Chain A
Amino acid sequence: MAFDIRPIQPKFCGEVFDFDLRHPLSAEDIVAVHDGMDKHGVLVFHGQKMTDEEHLAFTKQLGPVQTNESANLIKRKERRLDLDFSDVSNLDKDEKLLARDDRRRMFSLGNRLWHSDASFRAVPAKYSLLYGHIVPPTGGNTEFSDMRQAYNTLDNETKVEIEDLICEHSNLFSRAQIGFDKFTDEELVAFKPVQQRLVRYHPKMDYKTLYMSTHIGGIIGWPRPEAMAFIRDLLEHATQKAFVYSHKWEQGDLVIWDNRQTMHRVRRYDDLKYVRDMRRTTLMGDGLTVEQQAA
C-alpha cells in the first residue's frame, strides 16, 4: 500500500501523513482510499497543497462528482466557487466576511446541526471531501459521529422497530429547527422532501448504519410530533461522546467522510472576525435508498 493509515480512535477515523494527493494516483492507491473509507468512515490527509483544480481532479479519480445545484440558497451569479464545489466558508463573492444577518449566513447555521450531506437528495452523497484553505485560530471544529456504532449499540427491540422505517428529508426541516423559514417559491420546490431508509446496509463491509440527519422531518406512517421526538432520541444516542471524533483543523487538511456511515456538524467560531475558507467536493451515491421518483 502506498500510504499508511493511523487510526484516530480504535473503531473510527484514520489519518494519513506525507502523502501528496496532487499526483495522479495509482489503481492501488485508489483502492487503498476506498478500503480506508470503508474501514474508518473518515480519513484525514494532512499537509496537502491543493488548488481547486487539483482538489476536483483527485475527487474525480474516486467516482462521479455531485454538483452543488439546488442544495442551498446562493444564486449562481453570487457564487464564489464553481458549481462543483460547496462553499463551506463565511465569505461572499468578493472574499468579504458575511454580515451578521446575511441570509446566506443564516442558512449555513444549519450546518451546526448534525447531518449527513445531501440526504435531502433522492440519490444522496457518498463521500464529502473538505479542504481547509484558511482555518480560524480557534473554534470551527468539524465533528463526526460513527453511525455503525450508533446502530450496533441500539437494543434489539429498537433495531426491530426501525428496520424498515422510511424518513422524509429536506433542507426545510433542518432550517425549521433553527427558525429559518424565509424561502422563495423557487426554493420551496427545490427543497421538496425525499425519502430515505432509516437503516442502511453496506454490502461490501456487511454492516448496518443509522442513516440520520437533522434534515429529517417525518417518518412515513407516523404522526409527525411522535416521529420527531423519536428521531431526536436517536440523534442523541448516535452522537454520544464515545462515538464522536472532533477534528481540529490545520491548514492543508483534506478530510474525507463517508456520508452513508457518518453524521457531522461544525462547531461555533467567531465568524464575524475570522475567515474560515473550506471548500467541499462531493461524490454521488450509488443509488436510491428507497424506490421513488428522483427529485
Chain B
Amino acid sequence: MAIQIKPIKRLIGGEIDGVDLRRPLSDDDIAAIHAGMDKYAVLIFHGQQMDNVEHLEFTKLLGQLQPNVDTNVTKVEDRRLSVDFSDVSNIGKNHEILERDSRRRMFSLGNRLWHSDQSYRAIPAKYSMLYGHVVPPVGGNTEFAHMGAAYDALDDNTKAEIEDLVCEHSLLNSRAQIGFTDYSEDELPKFKPVLQRLVRHHPAMDRKSLYLASHIGAIVGWPRPEAMVFIRDLMEHATQPEFVYSHQWRQGDLVIWDNPQTMHRVRRFDDLKHKRDMRRTTTVCEGPTVAQQAA
C-alpha cells in the first residue's frame, strides 16, 4: 500500500508524509484513505501544494460534494471563494483582514465552540477537508475530539438513557451561546432547526458515537433548560484531553476529519493582525440520522 499512516494519539488522529494528493490516485489509495478515516477519524496530509481546482478534484474522489449554501451570513456576491468552498479565513473579498466588529467575524466566532460540521442540515456533512494556505505564526490550532471514544467512556446508565434521544440542531443555537443574534428576516428561515440522533452508529467500524455540537438547542420531549445543561455535561465529558488532538497548522497541511465521529473547534489567534487563510470542502453523508422532511 502506497499510503502509510502514522498514528498521532492513542485514540485519535493519523498523519501522512510524502504523498502528493494532486497525482492521480489509484482505487487502492482511495480505499486506504477511507479506511484511515474510519480508523483514525482525522488524517493530516502534510506538505501539499494544491490550488482550489486540485483541492476540489481530490474532494470529489472521496464523495459527493456539499456546496456551502445557507450555512452562514455572507451573501453570495460578498464571497471571496466559490460556493464549493467554506471560507474559513479572516479575509474579506478584497483580501483585507476583517474588522473587529465585522458581522462575518462575529458570526464565525461560533467556530471557537465545539461542533460537527453541518449537523444543522437534515443530511449532514461526512468529511471536511481543510487546507492551510496561510497559517498564523501562533494560535489558531484546530482541535478534534473523538466521539466514539467519548461514547465508549460513558457509564451504562447514561448509554441506556441517551440511546434513542433526538436533538434539534441549528446555527441559531451555537450563535446564541456567544450572544450573536443579529439576523435579517430572510436569514432566519434557512437556520430552521433539524433533528439528529444523539447516538450514531458507524457502519464500517461497527461502533457507536456521540453526535454532539454546540448547534444543539433542545432534546425532543425534554424541557429546554434541562436538555441544554445535560448536553453541556456531555460536551464536557466528550472533550476531555484524552479524547482530543490539537493540530498546530503548517502551511500546506490538508486535514480531513470524519464529522460523524468527531467534533472540532478552532482556538483563538490574533486575527486582527495575522492572516489565516483556510479553505474547506465538504462531502455529504448518505442520509439523515432521523427520518424527517429534508430542510
Contacts and interface: CB of A to CB of B under 8 A. Distances in A.
Given A106-B223, A232-B113, A112 B177 contact: no
A230 interface: yes
Secondary structure at the B interface, as helix, strand, loop or mixed, is: helix
A217 interface: yes
Contact of A113 (B106, B232, B240): B232
B233 A224 contact: no
Interface in A226-263: 226-230, 232-233, 241
Contacts of A113: 229, 232
A227 B110 CA distance: 12
A203 interface: no
B131 to A, nearest CB: 24
B61 to A, nearest CB: 35
A241 to B, nearest CB: 8
Given A106-B223, A226-B106, A226-B109, A179 B178 contact: no
B224 A228 contact: no
Contacts, number: 75
B101 A112 contact: no
B178 A225 contact: yes
Given A106-B226, A112-B232, A223-B106, A179 B112 contact: no
Given A106-B225, A233-B268, A228 B233 contact: no
Most central of B101, B106, B110, B178 by chain A CB within 10 Å: B178
Contact of B179 (A109, A178, A228, A268): A228
A180 interface: yes
Interface residues of B, number: 29
Contact of A218 (B113, B179, B224, B225): B179
A154 to B, nearest CB: 13
Interface string B223-240: 111111110110000001
B55 to A, nearest CB: 28
A141 B224 CA distance: 23
A291 interface: no
Contacts of A230: 268
Most central of B175, B179, B223, B232 by chain A CB within 10 Å: B179
Contacts of A176: 176, 179
A292 interface: no
Interface string A99-136: 01100001101101100000000000000000000000
A177 interface: yes
Contacts of A229: 109, 112-113, 178, 268
B174 to A, nearest CB: 11
A178 B223 contact: no
B191 interface: no
B100 A177 contact: no
A225 B233 contact: no
Interface residues of A, number: 29
Most central of B112, B175, B218, B230 by chain A CB within 10 Å: B112
B217 interface: yes
A178 B226 CA distance: 8
Nearest to A108: B225
A217 B176 CA distance: 11
A232 B239 CA distance: 14
Given A113-B232, A179-B218, A225 B180 contact: yes
Interface string A175-202: 1111110000000000000000000000
Contacts of B176: 176
B187 to A, nearest CB: 16
B218 A217 contact: no
A112 B113 contact: no
Most central of A107, A179, A267 by chain B CB within 10 Å: A179
Interface in B72-125: 100-101, 106-107, 109-110, 112-113
A288 B240 CA distance: 36
Nearest to B101: A223
B225 A180 contact: yes
B27 to A, nearest CB: 43
B3 to A, nearest CB: 35
Contacts of A178: 224-225, 228-229, 232
Nearest to B226: A109
Contacts of B223: 100-101, 106
Interface string A76-109: 0000000000000000000000001100001101
Contacts of A218: 179
A175 B229 CA distance: 10
A265 to B, nearest CB: 10
Most central of A100, A112, A226, A228 by chain B CB within 10 Å: A226
21 contacts: A100-B226, A106-B223, A106-B226, A107-B225, A113-B229, A177-B228, A178-B225, A178-B229, A179-B224, A217-B179, A218-B179, A223-B100, A225-B106, A225-B109, A225-B178, A226-B106, A228-B177, A228-B178, A228-B179, A229-B113, A230-B268
Given A107-B225, A232-B113, 14 more contacts: A100-B223, A178-B224, A178-B225, A178-B229, A179-B217, A217-B179, A223-B106, A225-B109, A225-B180, A228-B178, A229-B113, A233-B267, A268-B229, A268-B233
Interface of A: 100-101, 106-107, 109-110, 112-113, 175-180, 217-218, 223-230, 232-233, 241, 267-268
